[in-house]
Amino acid sequence: MKLEKYQIEEHNHAHRSTHQQRIDYVRSWVSNSDHIIEKLIEFQIAIPSWALGTGGTRFGRFAGAGEPRSLEEKIEDIGLLHSLNKSSGAVSLHIPWDIPKNPKAIKALAAQLDIKFDAVNSNTFQDQKGQQHSYKFGSLQHVDKTTRDQAIEHNLEVIHYGKELGSSSITVWLSDGSSFPGQLNFRKAFENTLDGLQKIYGALPDDWKMFVEYKAFEPNFYSMTVGDWGQSLLYASKLGPKAYTLVDLGHHLPNANIEQIVSLLLMEGKLGGFHFNDSKYGDDDLTVGSINPYQLFLIFNELVEGMDARHMNHATGLGWMIDASHNVKDPLEDLLQSVEAIMIAYAQALLIDQKALEYARQKNDVALAQEILQVAYRTDVRPLVAEARLRSGAALQPLELFRTLKVREHLIKERGTQTVATGL
Ligand code: LRH
Ligand code: MN
Ligand code: MN
């Protein structure tokens, strides 16, 4: 299924006058609204190839209908999202879940839909069919060199696929760790992992980056070998200038101050990218902004301030990606909601009067500093986000249009009801 330009135009026409009233109101008192709209138009968020089908929990998976059956169909789904919001112009592949069997054709299809290839992800947290050595006790940390070599080899293969598609970064997330005290020599596990990462790093093309993603728990529950931002930063620093830390919002211990982590990683020039999602308890991978939108806004405040201080381009300076998937919503609707939540938080952060905030801090005026943040957070910036979409040829209300055009029903007709997308 493909969305036609006229379908978007008709929808926008029907919403035009209400939108005009709303945007006029915001513009009447937000002095930098055009600047914000331009920033929003530039900003693109990569969609993970594993989020286009229904996710699951370890207790079960309730597959939806009309899910993509191949990588081609996943890219087509991202094409649909991108025509609805013009903010999802990139895909992040997980290998071997989504091996591009015919990279040239995949690249051409993506280019046709204006979709770029963001970071490629390796997978040494599951055993694949026919695999010689098991990752049950880890991959790069493994006590057995042949298992470590196999994991390194897999990462090199992922880089190879990435090169063919035009990616320029690899995200390495390891489930390595231990579940019981005594199981692991922490130092040796770190050294083995560093050695493996160094070999992978050595195979990176000149213009590539490596993102080292950390996670505090799960699937190991006593120790994780890349367990927090300190460990990730240690690996990234030892590896060299092409290695960065990747922050997945769900990978912290409860109540961690993620915005402070973001600020310090940016200060060190070592923040590489993001996996956006939301959570109440652990790595829940819920829709972005569905549980704690204020935290998301505070993170964006640090991103905007820190990136401006380093003269970084917001749109291209970091790898922005969603990493959410679950059991109960239509995956495409869910992704539209996630992208919208990110755009809202970004717009609110752009609204903050950074000079006034700094002045309040210098004066130790705590109440004023809090007020400045909350004024921005409590502003309804949805008309600005919608205006950015309108100007880039997307839909004023993407989710509503998705429903009125009965996109999922069309996909079910094309693909059937018994479809299972690859992924988690
Ligand atoms: C691990 C993780 C990591 C994986 C993805 C599927 O929890 O966040 O990024 O690649 O989930
Ligand atoms: Mn992640
Ligand atoms: Mn995760």
Mutation test residue for ligand 1: of 52, 57, 170, 173, the one with most atoms within 8 Å of CB = 173
Ligand 1 neighbour 323 (Cβ under 6 A): yes
Q: Please name which of 407, 406, 404 lies closest in space to residue 15, comparing C-alpha atoms.
A: 404
User: Which of 122, 170, 213, 422 most suits a substitution to test ligand 1, by most atoms within 8 Å of the C-beta?
Assistant: 213
CA distances from 139 to 127, 195, 265 (A): 10, 12, 26
From the number of C-beta atoms within 10 Å of its C-beta (0-12, 13-18, 19+), residue 90 rates as buried
Residue 311 region, left (φ>0) first, then alpha (ψ -120 to 50), else beta?
Answer: left
Helix (H, G, I), strand (E, B) or coil at 47: strand
C-beta of 275 in contact with ligand 1 (< 6 A): yes
Tell me the three state secondary structure of residue 362: helix
Alpha helix (H) residue ranges in 123-239: 145-165, 186-202, 229-239
- Give pLDDT tens digits along the chain (424 positions): 999 999 999 999 999 999 999 999 999 999 999 999 999 999 999 999 999 988 777 788 888 899 999 999 999 999 999 999 999 999 999 999 999 999 999 999 999 999 999 999 999 999 999 999 999 999 999 999 999 999 999 999 999 999 999 999 999 999 999 999 999 999 999 999 999 999 999 999 999 999 999 999 999 999 999 999 999 999 999 999 999 999 999 999 999 999 999 999 999 999 999 999 999 999 999 999 999 999 999 999 999 999 999 999 999 999 999 999 888 999 999 999 999 999 999 999 999 999 999 999 999 999 999 999 999 999 999 999 999 999 999 999 999 999 999 999 999 999 998 776 666 6
DSSP 60: B
- Residues 6+ positions from 81 with CB-CB distance below 8 Å: 47, 88, 332, 335, 336, 339
CA 175 to ligand 1: nearest atom:
1
Closest ligand to C-alpha of residue 49 is 1
Span between the terminal Cα atoms of the chain, in Å: 25
Asked if 211 and 172 count as a contact pair (C-beta separation under 8 A), the reply is yes
Strands 120-121 and 169-173: parallel
Closest CA to 214 of 252, 188, 268, 262: 252
Task: List the shell of residues around ion ligand 3, using CB closer than 5 Å.
Answer: 283
Residue 333 to residues 48, 84, 377, 408, 415: CA-CA distances in angstroms?
Answer: 14, 11, 24, 9, 18
pLDDT at res. 222:
98
- Closest ligand to C-alpha of residue 171 is 1
Q: Whose CA is nearest to atom 6 of ligand 1?
A: 424
Predicted confidence at residue 62, as pLDDT, reads: 83
List the residue whose alpha carbon is closest to atom 4 of ligand 1. Answer: 173
Question: Quick check: CB of 248 below 6 Å from ligand 1?
Answer: yes
Copy the structure tokens of residue 91.
Answer: 């895909």
Spatial separation of the C-alpha atoms in residues 23 and 362, rounded to whole Å: 34
**Which is it for strands 177-178 and 223-224: parallel, antiparallel or unpaired?**
antiparallel
| Dist CA 88 CA 98 (whole Å) | 19
Mutate to test the pocket of ligand 1, among 122, 323, 326, 422 (most ligand atoms within 8 A of CB): 323
Q: Does 5-415 carry CATH code 3.10.129.10?
A: no
User: Which amino acid residue places its CA nearest to atom 11 of ligand 1?
Assistant: 323
Closest protein CA for atom 2 of ligand 1: 173
Q: What is the pLDDT of residue 423?
A: 62
pTM of the model as a whole: 0.97
ipTM value: 0.99
With a 6 Å cutoff on the Cβ, whether 39 touches ligand 1 is no
The protein residue with its alpha carbon nearest to ligand 1, atom 1, reads 173
**pLDDT at residue 61, as a whole number:** 82
Residue 273 in contact with residue 246, Cβ under 8 Å? yes
Q: Is the CB of 173 under 6 A from ligand 1?
A: yes
Q: What is the distance between the alpha carbons of residues 308 and 354, in angstroms, rounded to a whole number?
A: 11
User: Which pLDDT belongs to residue 418?
Assistant: 77
Give me the helix-helix angle, 382-391 and 33-42, nearest 10°.
60
